[in-house]
Amino acid sequence: MPDSADAVLDGLDPEQREVATALSGPVCVLAGAGTGKTRAITHRIAYGVRSGLLQPSSVLAVTFTNRAAGEMRGRLRQLGAGGVQARTFHSAALRQLQYFWPKAVGGELPRLLDRKVQVVAEAAARCRIRLDRNELRDVTAEIEWAKVTQTVPEDYPAAAAKTGREAPRDPAEIALVYGTYEQLKRERGVIDFEDVLLLTVGVLQDRHDIAETVRRQYQHFVVDEYQDVSPLQQRLLELWLGDRDTLCVVGDASQTIYSFTGATPDHLLNFRVRHPHATVVKLVRDYRSTPQVVHLANGLLAQARGRAAEHRLELVSQRDRGPEPVYGEYADEPAEAEGTARRVRELLDSGVPASEIAILYRINAQSEVYEQALADAGVPYQLRGAERFFERPEVREAGLLLRGAARAGGHSDPQLAGVDDVPSQVRAVLGTRGWKPEPPAGSGAVRDRWESLAALVRLAEDFVRARPAATLADLVAELDERANAQHAPTVEGVTLASLHAAKGLEWDAVFLVGLAEGMMPITYAKTDEQVEEERRLLYVGVTRARVHLSLSWALSRTPGGRPSRRPTRFLNGLRPGSAAVRPVFSGAAAQGGVERGAGVRKRRGSARCRVCGRTLTDAGEIKLMRCEDCPCELDEALHERLRDWRAEQARLLGQPAFCVFTDKTLLAIAEAVPGTEAELACISGVGGRKLGKFGADVLALCAGDDPGSADVSQDTSQETPEK
């Protein structure tokens, strides 16, 4: 734990430090994948708490998954800010609703529905509408979307048409099922997940006294993954805030992949419109992935279109070079799965842990062939999004045993006699149920059970490393907290997951499979907006990899099938042997280009920031080729030498310093550090005349040498100063 507030800032890069010290007013953090956003915002909260500027109980940090909230709480504890609330939107809302319901409505809060899909099925049956399994799932998703966008049943058909949603059934039928579903809930006195937010919004809107109580409690808000906020969540956030602006939001429009659930990046992209005086910080230093992975990720977004693409962040890898991404083309899907399993085995043999390898696909139905291939290769795996870790029978049993041992006082328990440290105590307890340090041979249920218990042992080891004085009772409390938050430990097996489920995670090695047209982008992505979201989904997949990245596709689905599939269009121009596809522009969407046929001259594109990709309009920013507030790689020593040299040249010429080079041009030279005349000539403000007059001196300074005597005999009094 840091010993002071200033120590909390140790180890942060300049942009992260700027986030951590921006404690007043609205703050918007635009954070690319792998840039340490969680580190930045947890250190921001901890710095505020440790410096006395924030009271722990007055801070509410919200995110979108229980795992992310659990991780945030853990980091805050380690930084000495353990009293801060870090929750999901739903968890925070449910807590408030349970507390205020008796006062606002009376009685106890209605029971929360466990499985919505069963009630939707009953509603469809009451409407005499037959839904197969897939339609039932999709209609349930439509109802969820309608509720988070605050669309009532009778308005659903019009809302679906307006937003271009592909309804799984006739919209009028869905509206009927939706209305009946709501009626069934009322009859049974139950509420669903979305009702938690709707009812909390209703209470805060209708009861100003309750809203003021909440606002007195929480005075500072931090929202992670802000690009995924739905209109309903945004409304709740506004009610929490009231007329204050003590809000810090963190997000990346290029990682918006949940629009089908009602998420929209508009709140993130419009933040500066709503808060003109907001502090905006961009995090683009990628600490996760190698330059090769980052290059591919940047290349994917460079071809993107739309509003999110206009605000893309160009990542800059901070890691050493690694292997190039591997591309694989296979005859059919089983061959692709077998080839992937072989490469996984090679990585395992080279020392990469199974828990640091993931196979990611577009839809869950693709997992079966990979499960079989890994099992045939003797590779342990885990399905993400399947049974929850803490609900597994062996984990529940282990929890009961550990709780009993802790209650018995550890050493007073015969099975723990002579065992001193917590990890050894855990091993001893699990050993009473047959667990051994060495894994069983093969895969299957026995291996799965062993992996679950091994994950508990590793969790105990990690826990004690973070808290050396911890007892077995402390570990049990940690397990209970993790179970409530579904913050599972790492299981030692290759992860199989959909691209959506992989969001927020990372591995040393990632296999992106099934990257053929029809699956990526998915067939039902019809509109430009839907296709661009598929591109962002692939971008999310690429940026999950730290070192090893493999991308593959199959030419047919089954062995012997017609090889009619093509690799995804998103890799055109990026994978070896593929040609870039020239984007087709139309009207105002041209963004610096025009459609052109034979004989039509290409119009010069607009200048874009070389860091974040934003279109530049300010002359000074165009000269630097970056936004003023984007991070730069400035050679400060060179900049100082250039300034001294410019002052001497100006003295010899008897002219103002800007007649030699303006401040912006000097800064651009110190950032670019050109090594040749051609590189120097590319910098805005270095024209042919100045290149001939000052080029040799500038290049000498950039090389670390002393400049020769400049020829100042030529009269430059008529030169127009740079703007």
More confident residue, 339 or 592: 339
Per-residue 3-state assignment (H helix, E strand, C coil) for 668-717:
HHHHHCCCCHHHHHCCCCCCHHHHHHHHHHHHHHHCCCCCCCCCCCCCCC
The CA–CA distances, whole Å, from 561 to 327, 426, 445, 556, 557 equal: 21, 52, 34, 6, 7
- Rounded alpha-carbon distances, angstroms, from residue 674 to 398, 633, 682: 63, 13, 9
How high is the pLDDT of residue 589?
A: 31
* Torsion sign over Cα 367, 368, 373, 374: positive
Contact yes or no for 309/528 (Cβ under 8 A): no
Range in 46-60, 273-287, 501-515, 635-649 the model is least confident about: 635-649
Residue 224: how many other CB atoms lie within 10 Å: 25
Q: How far apart are CA 233 and CA 263, in angstroms?
A: 9
Q: Is 34 helix (H, G, I), strand (E, B) or coil?
A: coil
- Would you say 429 and 370 are in contact if contact means Cβ atoms under 8 Å apart? no
For residue 449, report the phi and psi dihedrals to the nearest 5 degrees: -65, -45
Residue 375 has pLDDT above 50, yes or no: yes
User: Rounded CA gap, 596 and 376, in Å?
Assistant: 54
Residue 363's pLDDT is what?
83
**pLDDT digit string, tens, across residues 235-265:** 999 999 999 999 999 999 999 998 888 888 8
Mean pLDDT score of the chain, rounded to an integer? 84
Would you say residue 513 has pLDDT above 90? Answer: yes
Confidence of residue 480 (pLDDT cuts 50, 70, 90): confident
Q: What is the pLDDT of residue 607?
A: 59
- pLDDT exceeds cutoff 60 at 443: no
Residue type, 606: S
Alpha helices in 109-246 (DSSP H): 116-126, 133-148, 156-163, 171-188, 193-206, 208-217, 231-241
pTM above the 0.75 mark?
Answer: no
Given the structure tokens 């009859």, which residue do they identify? 187
pLDDT of 12 over the 90 cut: yes
Q: How far apart are CA 654 and CA 712, in angstroms?
A: 10
Q: Please compute the mean of the pLDDT values over residues 668-695 and round it to a whole number.
A: 85
368: exposed, middle or buried (C-beta count within 10 Å: 0-12, 13-18, 19+)? exposed
DSSP state at residue 238: H
H helices of 509-563, in order, are: 528-542
Lookup: tokens for 288 = 């996760």
Residue 390 is predicted with a pLDDT of 72
Query: Who contacts 32 (Cβ-Cβ below 8 Å, separation ≥6)?
Result: 252, 254, 283, 284, 286, 313, 315
Please determine, for residue 714, whether its predicted confidence score (pLDDT) is greater than 60.
no
* Alpha-carbon Rg for the chain in angstroms: 29
| Predicted pLDDT of residue 445 | 58
In this prediction, residues 464-470 reach a mean pLDDT of 86
115-126 residue pLDDT tens: 888 999 999 999
**Residue 592: what pLDDT?**
31
Q: Which residue has the higher pLDDT, 613 or 434?
A: 434
Q: Alpha helix (H) ranges present in 572-625?
A: 619-624
Residue 516, pLDDT above cutoff 80 = yes
| pLDDT score for 698 | 93
Distance CA 499, CA 722 (A): 49
Is a pLDDT exceeding 90 seen at residue 655? no
Between 345 and 305, residue with greater pLDDT? 345
Q: What is the C-alpha separation between 132 and 116, in angstroms, rounded?
A: 16
- pLDDT tens-digit readout, 74-122: 899 989 888 899 999 999 999 999 999 999 988 889 999 888 889 999 9
What is the tens place of the pLDDT at every residue in 393-415?
Answer: 888 889 899 998 888 765 445 55
